[in-house]
Structure 1
Amino acid sequence: MASLLTDPLFEISGRGPPPNKNFYHFTVTKSDVIWRWWKISLRTVDRYSKPGELRESHQDFLDDTLLQSEVSMVFGRRILLYTKALCQGHYDYLEHLSDSLLLRIINYLELEDVGQLGRTSRRFRQLCGSEEFWEQAVRRRCNTVSVEVASLALEVGWRSIFFTSKLHLQKLISRRSLEFLMPTTCEQHPYSVGQLFAPPSLVADKHHSDLRLCTL
């Protein structure tokens, strides 16, 4: 698992709290903690101040209460606790996995679990709601996805394809084919294909989940 860790393990930058205008950069690597700062001031005496840097080992940082208080003051206590955990060897391996690998793992979860996972962090919310996830979900549950279904997914989204019954998809594809063959005015067909999809809930009931379309 250690090979999954990237270097640096964590880094963050930002300006100090008012009235402090200095800029700070905090980095945790696999072996060191690096604290950098740039003094920002209108005073003439500070005009030629050079950037500062403090580099410590993980253990030295855990013993350095002064640096810990500075990190907490600038970036907050949550960041301090997280970086201390990193220095103690408590790694969050999921944060270091690629999106493509996480998507493959997520696709083995039940839909209810996917919904709960999407509420744990911003990254998982984006992954669980992404087109890549729903396309993989459709293709994983089907032996073959027809060209017509893939084309329709570009218009309405793979999530809508997943939650739409086989019969309804057949009707939509047939209607879509007719629209290409015989173009009509908006007055004759006021609803587009995309408008025929009602916003689905994330978790479908068991009966509806058995009606997925795989191949037309």
Structure 2
Amino acid sequence: MASWLPVTLFEIVGQGQAPSKDYYQLLVTRSQVIFRWWKISLRSEYRTTKPGEAKETHEDFLENSQLQGKFDFLERLPDSLLLSIISYLDLEDIARLSQTSHRFAKLCMSNQLWEQIVQSACDTITPDMRALAEDIGWKQMFFTNKLQLQRQLRKRKQKHGSQIWKEQV
């Protein structure tokens, strides 16, 4: 599964709070977490300061409280990346994750996540299935059994067909 992931999973750069001009970069790759910093100052005592870099495996990073600092890096990840990560979880883990915070509850209930899950579970999604999912929601579609989905698709086609017939008359 790791081969499906891009080499760089996450990157964020920033500048220290004013009046600092220090530059920071956090880079998460498939195999390691890299934290880089550059001290930028006109003061003479910092002129010989060289850029710094700390590289750790994911496991070592999680154990290194000094490297992690007081940041919650999950909170800094964009929703699109979190949704991609969550889509690989088991359903039980998604349910547990949804109970950890308001943000994760919202992400775990989102149509975007359940659309990704349905797409990974189904070989093909027809335009009729997509339209039905937009009506009832992707999560509802995922948990509805196949016979009920077929019945709902038939009803939708009949309703749509009668509307077209009325428009033509």
Partner Cα distance (1:172, 1:161) in 2 = 10
Find the counterpart in structure 2 of residue 213 from structure 1: none
Where does 1:81-92 land on structure 2 (aligned, <5 Å)? 89-92=69-72
Cα–Cα, structure 1 residues 138 and 8, in superposed 2: closer, same or farther, change >3 Å? farther
Q: Which residue of 2 aligns with 1:165?
A: 145
Look up the match of 2:14: 7
Max Rg structure:
1
Q: Identity percentage over the alignment? A: 40
| AA matched with 1:102 | L
In structure 2, what is the Cα distance between the partners aligned to 1:98 and 1:158? Answer: 21
- Any stretches of 5+ residues in structure 2 without a counterpart? 1-7, 24-64, 164-169
Distance 2:68 2:148 in 1: 55
Pick closer, same or farther for the CA change 1:169–1:110 going to 2, 3 Å.
same
Change (3 A) 1:108 1:6: same
Task: Answer whether contact 1:4 1:93 (CA < 8 A) is retained.
Answer: no
**For the residues of structure 2 that align with 1:163 and 1:152, how far apart are their CA atoms?**
13
Instruction: Map 1:10-159; keep pairs closer than 5 Å.
Output: 89-159=69-139
**Cα distance in structure 2, aligned partners of 1:8 and 1:117:** 31
- 1:92-120 CA-to-partner distances (Å, cap 9, x unmatched) read 22112111111111011111110110111
Equivalent residue letter for 2:11: L
Distance 1:5 1:104 in 2: 18
Q: Secondary structure at the match of 1:109?
A: coil
Q: CA deviation at 1:86?
A: 8.7
Q: How far is 1:177 from its partner?
A: 0.9
Greater RCO structure (CA 8 Å; 6+ sep):
1
Deviation at 1:125, TM superposition (A): 0.9
Mark the CA change 1:87 to 1:31 in structure 2 (over 3 Å): closer, same or farther: farther
Looking at structure 1, the residues matched to 146 and 89 of structure 2 have their Cα atoms a distance apart, in angstroms, of 23
Partner Cα distance (1:118, 1:30) in 2 = 38
Query: Which whole-Å CA distance do the structure 1 matches of 2:107 and 2:68 have between them?
Result: 29
Q: 1:173 to 1:5 in 2, by over 3 A?
A: same
The structure with more helix, counted as a fraction of residues: 2
CA distance in 1, matches of 2:90, 2:151: 28
Pairs aligned (count): 114
CA distance in 1, matches of 2:91, 2:151: 26
Is the CA contact (8 Å cut-off) linking 2:86 and 2:94 kept in structure 1? Answer: yes
Q: TM-score, normalised by structure 2?
A: 0.57
